[in-house]
Each structure stands twice: as structure tokens, then as C-alpha cells.
Amino acid sequence: MSRQPPRRGLAERAAEFAREWSVPRQLRGADHRREAAEAAISRTLRPRLEEADRVGTSICPYCAVGCAQLIYARDGRPIHVEGDPRSPVNQGTLCPKGAATFGLMTSPMRLDRCLHRVPGATAWREVTLDWAMDRIAHLVRRTRDETFVKDLPDGTPLNHTLGIASMGGATLDNEENYLIKKLFSGGLGMVFVENQARV
């Protein structure tokens, strides 16, 4: 889990040492501070935010306070996430979770492939996104058709299925929740649609 500093060869290190060793310079100037002691890295040092080719406005993905963030990216990858200093909610600050947003986006434990577990299997297998989508759509149709109830014996309409449930939504966008409710409830007739609001 550690992020290793870059490792370099002995020759490279020795050459750099000779070049950047500041003691002779300091002896000449007799001042072991600032320019006299400054090494190459220090002279060229800049914050990596300056390497960003894209800055985007974002909102912290953890709690509901709604702290604004700026995401700095280069070549399609995040290079850092910080509090947005403009925001009246957080004024640039972030809590320990919000401050870890960059670590969340780049967590070594992140998943980037679809996994599938066959009934009774003891391990995952990798599947394509397209295969998973197709299979899920067919399972939804099968389960819905097997469990859909149109009305009660007395004719009271139900138009629902109790056979499929959905959990989650509080971490998602409003637009995503809208699509979930619209498709699952308004389209498929699912009634077990719940998110973390009660948890």
C-alpha cells in the first residue's frame, strides 16, 4: 500500500551528490542558508498543481455538508484534489475524509473490470461490460415476469413486482437517482427501492 519514492542507481546518485553537495559552496559563502545551500531540486521546485491541464469544479463525495473541491488533472488522470477556496460552505478547507479524495480516486484497491461469480463458485471471474449488461437485463426481465402482480383478486390495481429490489442512491447524483426511480418504479414496477436515508 505504500507509495514508493522513485529509486535511482548508484552512479546517478553519486553524480548528483557531487554536483549538488553544497558544503563547498557554503564554505565559500559561509552562509548555510538560501542560495548558497540551495540544491537543484529546490531551485526548480514548483507545486504540481501547475502541471494540470484541466481543473474542474467538484463536490466532496463523502458526507452531506457539500464541500466544494477543485480537481486538478493532467493527461486524463487526477493529480490532486483540494478544497475550493471560493466556496461559502468550506472556504477551501476539507475534513480528513475530504482531504483523502485524491487517495480515494487513486486507491490501489479500486476495481476497473467487471467481475462475475457463478452460483456456487469460490472465486470471481472477469467478464466484459457488455456481457454483464446483457445478462443483467435478461435476469431482470425473467424475474420481473415471474413475479409481476397486476392486481388484487378484488381488482385493485397493483402493477408491481416484489421480486426485485434496489438499494443505494445517497452517494449518487440527483440525475442518477431520477433515472433509477423512473426506470425501476415507473418502468418496471419495483416497489422495494430504497437508499441509505433510513440507515
Partner 1 sequence: MPQWDLANSDCVLVMGSNMAENHPIAFRFVLQAKARGATIIHADPRFTRTSAMADIYAPIRAGTDVAFLGGIIRHVLEHDLWFREWAIPYTNIATILGEDYRDAEDGDGLFSGWQEESRKYSPESWQYEGVTMPSALAESYVDTEGFCEATKRLHEGPPPRDPTLQHPRCVYQVMKRHFARYTPEMVERVTGCPREVFLKVCEALARNSGRERTTAICYAVGWNHHSTGVQIIRSGAILQALLGNVGRPGGGMLALRGHTSIQGSTDIPTLYDMLPGYLPQPHAFKPHSTLESYLDAETSPTGWWRNFPKYAVSLLRAWYGEAAAPENGWGFDWVPRIVGDHSQLPLTVAMRNRIIRGLFVMGQNPVVGSSNSLLVQRGLADLDWMVVRDFAETDTASFWRDGHLVRSGGMRPEDIRTEVFLMPAALSGEKAGSFTNTHRLLQWHDKVVPPPGDSRSEHWFVYHLGRRLKDLYAASEREEDRAIRALTWEYPVDDEGEPDAEAILQEINGYTWPDRTLLPDFEALKEDGSTACGCWIYSGVFPKPGENRSRARRPDGPEGPGTHLGWGFAWPSNRRTLNNRASADPEGRPWSERKRLVWWDEAKQEWASPDQIDFPKDKRPDYEPDWSRKPAGMDAISGRQPFIMIPDGVAGLFVPSGLKDGPLPAHYEPVESPVANPLYGQSISPAAKRWEHADNPVHGTGDPRWPHVLTTFRLTEHHSGGTPTRLVPTTAELQPEGFAEIPTELARALGIRSTDWVVISTPRGAIETRALVTDRLRPWRLDGRMVHQIALPWHFGWVGYATGDVANVLTAVVGDPNTGMHENKALTCALRPGRLRRAGGAGVAREAR
Partner 2 sequence: MEGGLAHRRALDYADRDPRGPIPQEAEITTGRRVEPGRAYGFFTDTTLCIGCKACEVACKEWNQLPADHLGLTGHSYDNTGHLGAHTWRHVTFNEKIGKDGRRATTMPPYQSHWLMMSDVCKHCDPAPCLEACPTGALFRTEFESVVVQQDICNGCGYCVPACPFGVVELSVEDGKAHKCTLCYDRLKGGLEPACAKSCPTDSIRFGPVEELLEGAKARVARLHAQGQPAAYLYGAPGTPRATGGIGRLNAFFLLIERPEAYNLPPAPSRPAPRALPSILSGLAAVAGLAAAALLIGVGRR
Comparing CA positions, the residue from 62, 85, 86, 58 lying closest to residue 72 is: 58
Quote the least distance from Cβ 40 to partner 1, whole Å.
29
Q: In Å, how far are 98, 100, 103, 112, 174 from 62, measured between CA atoms?
A: 7, 10, 13, 21, 15
User: Can you read off the three cell numbers belonging to residue 60?
Assistant: 466532496
Do 185 and 191 touch, CB atoms closer than 8 A? yes
Report phi then psi at 30, rounded to 5. Answer: 55, 30
Question: CB 46 → partner 1: shortest distance, Å?
Answer: 21
Indicate the residue among 107 and 171 with the shorter CB distance to partner 2: 107
> How far apart are the C-alpha atoms of 161 and 189, rounded to whole Å?
6
- Interface residues with partner 2 (CB under 8 A) are 1-5, 7, 10, 13-14, 16-17, 20-27, 32-34, 37-42, 45-50, 52, 55-57, 70, 72, 80-83, 85-100, 102-103
**Counting contacts by CB under 8 A, is residue 4 touching partner 1?**
no
Place of cell 479524495: 101
Minimal distance, residue 149 CB to partner 1, in Å: 9
Nearer to partner 1, 13 or 54 (CB): 54
List, in order, residues 6 or more apart from 63 with CB less than 8 Å away: 95, 97
Measured from the CB atom, the residue of 13 and 142 that comes closer to partner 2 is 13
* Buried residues in 52-63 as b, exposed as e (16+ CB within 10 A): beeeeeebbebe
User: Does the protein bind partner 1 through residue 48 (CB under 8 A)?
Assistant: no
How many Å apart are CA 103 and CA 77, to the nearest integer? 13
Among partner 1, partner 2, none, what does residue 32 contact (CB within 5–8 Å per kind)?
partner 2
Q: Which is nearer to partner 1, 40 or 170 (CB)?
A: 170
DSSP H or E stretch at residue 125? strand 125-127
By CB under 8 A, the residues from 137 to 196 that bind partner 1 are 137-141, 143, 146-148, 150, 152, 156-196
Closest contact distance (angstroms) between CB of 128 and partner 1 is 8
> Smallest distance from the beta carbon of 85 to partner 2, in angstroms?
4
Per rule CB under 8 A, is residue 1 in the interface with partner 1? Answer: yes
> Could you say which residues in the range 101-140 bind partner 1, by CB under 8 A?
101, 103-105, 107-124, 128-129, 132-140
